[in-house]
Amino acid sequence: MRYLVLSDLHAGLEAFESCLRAAEGKFDAAVCLGDVVGYGPDPNAVIDLLLRQKNSVVIRGNHDKACCGIASADDFNLWAKAATYWTRSVLREEHIAFLRELPPGPKVLPGFEMVHGSERDEDEYVMNAPAAMPILQEQQLQLVFFGHTHYQGGFFRDRTGASRRIGAGDMNDAGRDGRVLSVHLEDETRYLINPGSVGQPRDGDWRAAFAIYDDADRRIDFYRASYDLPKTQEKMAYAGLPEPLIRRLEIGK
Ligand code: ZN
């Protein structure tokens, strides 16, 4: 089985469409680690497109909860809060219902687990090795996919206890199809893997991020896909979304 692993789409339609084009023919099921909406200009269209993907499994993120009103946006900064209120005002009724019914992580699928933040807290940011190591030590399954940080890569720990981080410095553009890194899963090593953010990367690369996991080959391929960024930015400006949210997309921060 080949899984398209998506996270943090954040209502970025052009970014999402570009990922789907790059992944075409390469996956049998789509999994989404949350934050389908929030920040971006196309919450309804992104939910519609996600629902059209074959065998999709989706868990909720913190922005999904805030945008459908089951959590408050009080903890968000001013810009995120403004985007949340705007999203609430445009979401169609059936999409609010869809977001409300999204299950929280962790969600176990054959051979791996999905979480938004972490296994112990769906809203936890696992940003660095000190945060990741205790989680990897307790992790029951070999492979856990997480999102929330908007950084493509992740962490792993081998049987000797040695740990490693995979991040922007390990990615390279040698692959013409947009593949920036392949990781082969090794026995007795545990992996905490972030496919990166589709709609609002923060790892210094503006391009949309995703991953494909092939459980027969025991391989994870990380990808980056260019998309029509000016089009997304124009829509955000037209919607009156905060300027800093528009600008950050072009620097990937
Ligand atoms: Zn997010």
What is the full per-residue pLDDT of the chain (253 aa) written as tens digits? 999 999 999 999 999 999 999 999 999 999 999 999 999 999 999 999 999 998 899 999 999 999 999 999 999 999 999 999 999 999 999 999 999 999 999 999 999 999 999 999 999 999 999 999 999 999 999 999 999 999 999 999 999 988 899 999 999 986 678 999 999 999 999 999 999 999 999 999 999 999 999 999 999 999 999 999 999 999 999 999 999 999 999 999 9
Going from the Cα of 101 to the center of ligand 1, the distance in angstroms, rounded, reads 18
In one-letter notation, the amino acid at residue 206 is: W
Decide: helix, strand or coil at residue 109: strand
Which pLDDT belongs to residue 208? 98
Taking the C-alpha atoms of residue 240 and residue 231, their distance in angstroms, rounded to an integer, is 14
Going from the Cα of 18 to the center of ligand 1, the distance in angstroms, rounded, reads 18
Going from the Cα of 230 to the center of ligand 1, the distance in angstroms, rounded, reads 21
In one-letter notation, the amino acid at residue 240 is: G
Please state whether the predicted TM-score (pTM) of the whole model is above 0.95.
yes
Which pLDDT belongs to residue 205? 96
The answer for residues whose C-beta is within 8 angstroms of residue 162's C-beta and 6 or more apart is none
Which pLDDT belongs to residue 54? 84
In one-letter notation, the amino acid at residue 157 is: R
Which pLDDT belongs to residue 119? 94
Going from the Cα of 42 to the center of ligand 1, the distance in angstroms, rounded, reads 15
| Short-list 147, 164, 243, CA closest to 202 | 147
